[in-house]
Amino acid sequence: MAGAVKRFRIMAIISGAMSLLLWFVYMPGKYLIDNPDFHSAIIWIPMVHGYLYPLYILTALVFSVKARWPLMQMLGLILAGTLPVASLIAERRVVKRYS
């Protein structure tokens, strides 16, 4: 169980950081700043986020199954990765409860 908590913790922090970058750097940069050089410098953000978010979902599923959480709680943990700060809050609650 400790390994699942550690993996979830790492992926929740990474996913939260990438989500923050996506929402508050890439999206405003793409739609508000008309500078092709800036856009080409930040184009990596959605690509990295797109590859890492499925890993977050997988680690959340593995943790939820090991913790024997009900389906709705499992879905809440997965959906926490969609909002910038929610995965970080979920990570804190999981670590506080299972460590």
The 10 Å CB-count burial string (b at 16+, else e) for 78-92 is bebbeebebbbebbe
Residue-level pLDDT at 99: 79
How many domains are there within the chain? Answer: 1
Residue-level pLDDT at 1: 84
| 7-36 pLDDT tens trace | 999 999 999 999 999 999 999 998 998 888
Answer yes or no: pTM beyond 0.85. yes
Residue-level pLDDT at 82: 86
| 74-86 pLDDT tens trace | 999 999 888 889 9
How far is residue 31's CA from residue 47's CA, in Å, rounded to a whole number?
Answer: 17
Task: State which residues form the domain around 20.
Answer: 2-98
**CB atoms near residue 96 (< 10 Å):** 8
**CA 47, 61, 75, 28: dihedral to nearest 10 degrees?**
-20
